[in-house]
Structure 1
């Protein structure tokens, strides 16, 4: 994932409202959001190159999402797949804090990442760059892109505003999946400086990216409402056109 905005309200009837765009190279194969046959009750898209995922949830109420940190040249020469950090959390019952502490103990095996892991009652954030960081999220709206949690990039601040407006009249996970729809780059004087050429800094500043060989591949919405999760995904082709739609209603297991 490369852009996430969420409203986390564990004490409320509507406890999770999340919208996310995943950006990736177009040739990298992936499959759409679905229930994994080898892990019944686990719903996620699948990276067909490394076998992991970028975002998912389970019938047990666990959910996780990953973004890369844009830091050219950082990380090990032969890094482990970051997508397995999401998958490993979702596969088995795990306490999110304990899981992320264990992940950070081996954080130097991975390229820079942000990782969110939560359940119905708690949500935690971890990053391995430039040093290990672990934080429990307080209720409220949070944003995440290719810097650290709640870094005020133009597209994350716009995402915060978009979600605030959506919360005034929520319409389900499908509308969350379509929320982050700003295609235009932001002005040069608003761009972060992440170490990539200015041309790419401009292209990557948009919420929805459609660049040569690289862009937004899917958009996901997750709505947590009482004992139910609803997940929706839009898939996009290399021209920025909708290539698929899917929605999965998930009744959570009673623990």
Structure 2
């Protein structure tokens, strides 16, 4: 159960501020964030099973991120949803144009929410509700349902991010505490998605830790209006402890 909070043109210094946790089975092979040898403009982690990624940015300042929709329809022999993110990052289409093209073939995939952005635009598409939105400046959140579905973990994360953004001393590094939050909401506040109660509650934390599944990495991505990009990825093991960190900083170029 992943989580993304994104502030789009909602801070005087940053065109983009994004904080994200990727939750996945520990056994699924994954490569750490890096510039890809087969697409040198792409900076992202890599799903070594499906070949795509869950979140990435390019040297031109284009970025994309994805969450799965929990409880959505299954699709036989569906392609990896992570290829939707890498497909955007490898190309040069405007966010809305890319998502419109994806919408025409979205039935081939299991449920997903896809965010795509560039220096000025943020767009979101879900094949679970069929909606494509070009988003106004503001702070938005995605977990494993539709955009801004008020699940407790998402509301908690968004509220904490908004408070940080309002501080005069805001720095993207302050977002790590939000992503590390292991608070478990009360059972009566949780959504009912068909999972056993103990698992529903464990997945209700911002940072998830179960024996075979949990938060595999946290990412903070920030892009200033004048094109400074910072992406930092922290990776976690089965014990829930940090196993590595990869920082990247560069200027956007065309």
TM-score scaled to structure 2, two decimals? 0.95
Which residue of 1 is the match for residue 249 of structure 2?
Answer: 249
Equivalent residue number for residue 228 of structure 2: 228
Quick check: 1:111 aligned with 2:83? no
1:105-254 matches, cutoff 5 A? 105-129=104-128, 131-167=129-165, 168=167, 169-172=169-172, 174-225=173-224, 226-254=226-254
The two structures have a TM-score, normalised by structure 1, of 0.94
Q: How far apart, in 1, do the equivalents of 2:248 and 2:174 lie?
A: 14
Contact 1:178 1:234 in 2 (8 A): no
Provide the residue aligned with 1:7 in structure 2.
7
Paired with 1:155 and 1:176, the residues of 2 have a C-alpha distance of 15
Could you tell me whether the CA contact under 8 Å between 1:125 and 1:135 is conserved in 2? yes
Distance in 2 separating the partners of 1:195 and 1:66:
22
Distance of 1:178 and 1:43 partners within structure 2: 24
1:41-82 per-position Cα deviation (integer Å, ceiling 9, x unaligned)? 21000001111000000011100000001116x131221100
Q: Work out whether residues 65 and 116 of structure 2, in 8 Å CA contact, stay in contact via their aligned partners in 1.
A: yes
* Alignment gaps of 5+ in structure 1: none
Q: Please tell me the root mean square deviation across aligned C-alpha atoms, in Å.
A: 1.5
In structure 2, C-alpha distance between the alignment counterparts of 1:11 and 1:59, rounded to whole Å: 22
Q: CA deviation at 1:92?
A: 1.4
Q: Aligned pair count? A: 251
